[in-house]
Amino acid sequence: MNKISDNVKILSGNEACAHAALAVGVRFFAGYPITPSSEIAEVLANELPKYDGVFIQMEDELASIGAIIGASLTGVKAMTATSGPGFSLMQENIGFAIMAEIPCVIVNVMRGGPSTGLPTLPSQGDVMQARWGTHGDHQSIALAPFSVREVFEMTVRAFNLSEKYRTPVILLLDEIIGHVNEKVVFPSENEFEIINRPKPKDKDNYLPYDETVSDIPAMANFGTGYRYHVTGLAHDETGFPTNNGEKINQLLQRLERKIIKHTEDIVQVEEFHLSDAEIGIIAYGSAARSARHAVKLARELGLKAGMLRLKTIWPFAEKQIQDFSDKVKIWIVPELNMGQIAHEVEWAVRGKVNVVKYNKVNGEPINPHEILECIKENAHV
């Protein structure tokens, strides 16, 4: 990291992620080195002790996410960082954190797959895994920044959403976003909000999974005098396992509802030249960087192109896409995968607008001129 002044620095996306974690109050990191996310661990290994925090290099990714779940139960903001193969190993414990409603953040700096795939090359192949990687019916929250500054902002937001909704949140970078270096003006502490999990007040009558108006029960810290049970099994409001069908349904419906009914708070998109667009692009992460430039080039040629950038991947921005589908004639979806989000776009538009995929899976980034050619080819469809 190169320092220009106290609040202006040149750093990579991975470095920005680590510094944002410190700024939002993370004091525990457990992880295992894996390309292309390792810089996050490297920075936190050096910096966390300065904040009286704890860094542990675990024996593998299974142990890493187990450790951050345990740390979070004691009230500490905790995170881990990994890439594709490690993210696969974490899925069972992600499901545990969803079921037990344990806040934590998992950073996945995506690389090519399947298996060990392309360790040093970019991909966006894990977006569906971020939604459906763990088994069972559940909701997921996943964010996708497209600049170094936004990595900082979205890391803070990931923790805020995790604490607010008592759920794991996934931050999806790709290798390009993780390793690109940009000038960042760091916000001061009073320029961003920090949200902490809801706390109980009554020790004698505490129910860790109580039904509340918000559907988000208060969470006591282990070791502070509150006694409660934590399990990945279906449980009642006390936290103890149950086979009562009514209680099971009540729990699973609440877990679904606490995310779904707050989608307006969770989902964020950016509109770029969409007010009069006839050709729409839906993109996220590094592909959105190329798409933005392609829109500028198209406008210079007199083509009315615009972009809807997905800052939140899950829950999906179905409403926003449907709203603009009444205006654009076509959606182009560039992705570094075989069309994972394009499939969701097709589902959202319900045949109202044609959806064109532009995909790359060879480890090379999508070039703005490639998207421009796709815009030209579909300009008169």
pLDDT in tens, 61-77: 999 999 999 999 999 99
6: pLDDT strictly greater than 80: no
pLDDT at 228: 86
3: pLDDT strictly greater than 80: no
The reply to whether domains 2-191 and 270-377 share a CATH topology is yes
pLDDT at 8: 86
> If you average pLDDT over residues 167-173, what whole number do you get?
98
Of 257, 249, 172, 278, nearest in space to 213 by CA = 257
> If you average pLDDT over residues 286-291, what whole number do you get?
98
Per DSSP, what are the bridge partners of residue 3?
A: 9
pLDDT at 191: 84
- Taking the model in full, what pTM does it have? 0.95
pLDDT at 2: 61
- The residues, any chain, with a CB within 8 Å of residue 290's CB and separated by 6 or more, are 283, 334, 365, 366, 367, 368, 370, 371
Give domain limits for the chain. Answer: 2-191, 270-377
The model's pLDDT over 212-223, given as tens digits with 9 standing for 90+, comes to 999 999 999 998
pLDDT level of residue 80 (50, 70, 90 thresholds): very high
pLDDT level of residue 380 (50, 70, 90 thresholds): confident
> If you average pLDDT over residues 192-219, what whole number do you get?
92
Per the listing, tokens 């959606």 go with 331
pLDDT level of residue 1 (50, 70, 90 thresholds): low
d(CA 160, CA 349): 31
pLDDT level of residue 258 (50, 70, 90 thresholds): very high
14: pLDDT strictly greater than 90: yes
pLDDT level of residue 315 (50, 70, 90 thresholds): very high
The model's pLDDT over 266-276, given as tens digits with 9 standing for 90+, comes to 999 999 999 99
> If you average pLDDT over residues 118-146, what whole number do you get?
96
The model's pLDDT over 234-243, given as tens digits with 9 standing for 90+, comes to 999 999 999 9
* Secondary structure element (H or E) that encloses residue 106, with its range: strand 104-112
Of 256, 55, 7, 236, nearest in space to 140 by CA = 256
Cα–Cα separations (whole angstroms), residue 69 to 47, 79, 111, 147: 21, 9, 25, 29
Whether omega for the bond prior to residue 200 falls within 30 degrees of 0, making it cis, is: no
3-state secondary structure of 334: strand
Task: Answer for the pair 137, 252: CB distance below 8 angstroms, yes or no.
Answer: yes
Mean pLDDT, rounded, of the chain: 95
d(CA 146, CA 149): 9
What CATH number is given for 2-191 in this structure?
3.40.50.970
Are β-strands 279-283 and 269-272 bridged in parallel, bridged antiparallel, or unpaired?
unpaired
According to CATH, the topology of domain 270-377 is Rossmann fold (3.40.50)
Phi/psi class of residue 52: alpha, beta or left (left: φ > 0; alpha: ψ in -120 to 50)?
left
Per the listing, tokens 């060879």 go with 362
Of 25, 55, 59, nearest in space to 43 by CA = 55
Task: Convert 158-194 to b/e letters by CB count within 10 Å (16 or more is b).
Answer: bbbbbbbbbbbbbbbbbbbbbbbeeebebeeeeeeee
> If you average pLDDT over residues 102-125, what whole number do you get?
96
pLDDT at 203: 87
> If you average pLDDT over residues 40-46, what whole number do you get?
98
